[in-house]
Amino acid sequence: HGIVTSMLFRWRVQLGYGRKEKVKLATVRASGACSADALVLQDLLAMPDGMAAFELPGGQRVFAPADADPEAVRRYVVERETAS
């Protein structure tokens, strides 16, 4: 799912893995006409200094230097994704 290993281990600690008393989780449901695939966790990472967030056509968001041309960033990402 594109989640880095360190995040999984952080979640395990935060959710009480290995503790006698487990953390209780709440059930969350998306309302409206959006699908589970359309749900994206925003603001999970702090904005790096000197960087800006650029939205991509598919709803993805990438960080690039703040003075970068948004269209050039989008083209660059699309080219890299289609090359791999």
What's the pTM value of the predicted model, to 2 decimals? 0.45
Q: What is the per-residue pLDDT across 28-80, written as a single tens digit (0 to 9) for each?
A: 766 665 555 555 556 566 777 888 888 887 777 888 899 999 999 988 888 88
How many of the other CB atoms lie within 10 Å of CB of 68?
14
Q: Report the pLDDT value the prediction gives residue 67, as an integer from 0 to 100.
A: 93
Rounded to a whole number of angstroms, the CA Rg of the chain reads 17
